[in-house]
């Protein structure tokens, strides 16, 4: 089960999310609320600093601005990080540890303040499980 409220704000079963400038708008299916919010310490996420939560690929819909989304990949090219090419805000990414999931930027959720979340765990992306096979 996830967070169905964050601070005083309700998490809707279908929740709108947007980048900073509003060019990109997403609709997220969050029937269980915000599931598994976390930070990550990998070389990319530590710079970005966002809290992300997960949703199945079928639970994320780009409502508007698909043409403004840019894709960034690095290292194994598995994770696909999308950001708004106008304002630069990361909206979502296809996860490397489970490509059946998108991670989305919690701070993009309409009306939600990520600073209202209690302690957020950090994923050890520096020592990613997928990297252990390379040794």
Positions touching Zn ion (CB under 5 A) are 19, 21, 23, 84, 86-87
Of 7 and 22, the one with the shorter C-beta distance to Zn ion is 22
Of 19 and 101, the one with the shorter C-beta distance to Zn ion is 19
- Minimum CB–partner distance for residue 53 and Zn ion (Å): 20
Of 61 and 64, the one with the shorter C-beta distance to Zn ion is 64
**Residues 103/91, Cβ–Cβ less than 8 Å:** no
- Minimum CB–partner distance for residue 14 and Zn ion (Å): 21
């Amino acid at each position: 089960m996830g967070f169905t409220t964050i601070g005083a704000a309700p998490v809707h079963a279908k929740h709108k999310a947007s980048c900073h400038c509003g060019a990109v708008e997403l609709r997220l299916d969050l029937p269980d609320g915000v599931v598994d919010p976390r930070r990550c310490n990998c070389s990319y996420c530590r710079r970005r600093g966002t809290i992300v939560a997960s949703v199945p690929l079928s639970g994320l819909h780009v409502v508007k601005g698909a043409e403004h989304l840019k894709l960034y990949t690095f290292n194994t090219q598995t994770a696909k990080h999308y950001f708004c090419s106008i304002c630069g805000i990361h909206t979502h990414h296809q996860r490397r540890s489970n490509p059946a999931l998108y991670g989305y930027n919690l701070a993009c959720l309409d009306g939600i303040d990520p600073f209202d979340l209690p302690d957020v765990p950090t994923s050890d992306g520096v020592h990613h499980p997928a990297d252990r096979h390379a040794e």
